[in-house]
Homo-oligomer: A and B are copies of this chain.
């Protein structure tokens, strides 16, 4: 019974790892669409989103199946409940990548980003994609070191996010409030994407060690304006 449980839990984590990678690919494409005002790439992310949702529904059904058939107890029970939370995190990461793609689509054929913040978003996109892949690797391997590395990447994301506000509130900003609103919301989408990857890492640590994850990964910017 426990052998079957572990085999199925391992398959489920492999599915979650693939979903994480897909959310990373979505954010990679959304960032490309945003930086190059590429409508086709944005549309690709938007139409692919249903695929992540369908995989989420499948992952939840498998987790229900495990709960119902294997009737796990103690730590195993907690691991499966954690799985539902991981599905919710990945779903949210997919939704945030979708939001970015929709901003790129809405602004097409213009670029949504003023030149001053392009490199920040290129960097935030790269960090986000790395984090999604690391979260996927942590899920697949149940490797606690992978999971903990996410915290370091998140600190980098927070730095990039803070820097964005420095650029926005600099006196030389001349792109108006509309572009400022776009940049503010886009920055928040990348930051939250990273937060969910961190939460997945903490949930893997919990699955592997029993240490409870802290639920709060959201650290909003401390200094928005002068």
Contact = CB atoms under 8 A, between A and B. Distances in A.
For the side of the interface on A, what is the size category? 35 or more
A85 B64 CA distance: 14
- Which of A77, A78, A178, A224 gathers most chain B CB within 10 Å? A224
Contact of A215 (B56, B67, B103, B179): B56
A184 B73 CA distance: 45
A222 interface: yes
A81 B106 contact: no
Contacts of A182: 224-225
Interface in A207-221: 215-216, 218, 220-221
A78 B64 contact: yes
B95 A225 contact: no
A56 B177 CA distance: 39
A202 interface: no
Interface string A90-122: 010001000100110010000000000000000
23 contacts: A53-B215, A64-B78, A64-B81, A67-B67, A67-B77, A68-B74, A81-B81, A84-B84, A84-B85, A95-B216, A95-B218, A99-B218, A102-B220, A103-B224, A106-B223, A169-B181, A173-B177, A177-B180, A177-B225, A180-B180, A184-B185, A185-B220, A185-B224
Interface of A: 53, 56, 64, 67-68, 71, 73-74, 77-78, 81, 84-85, 88, 91, 95, 99, 102-103, 106, 165, 168-169, 173, 176-182, 184-185, 188, 215-216, 218, 220-226
Given A64-B77, A68-B73, 17 more contacts: A64-B78, A67-B81, A71-B71, A81-B81, A84-B85, A88-B88, A91-B215, A95-B218, A106-B222, A169-B181, A177-B177, A177-B180, A177-B225, A178-B225, A182-B224, A182-B225, A185-B221
For the complex of A and B, 3 pairs with smallest distance between CB atoms = A178-B225, A184-B184, A177-B180
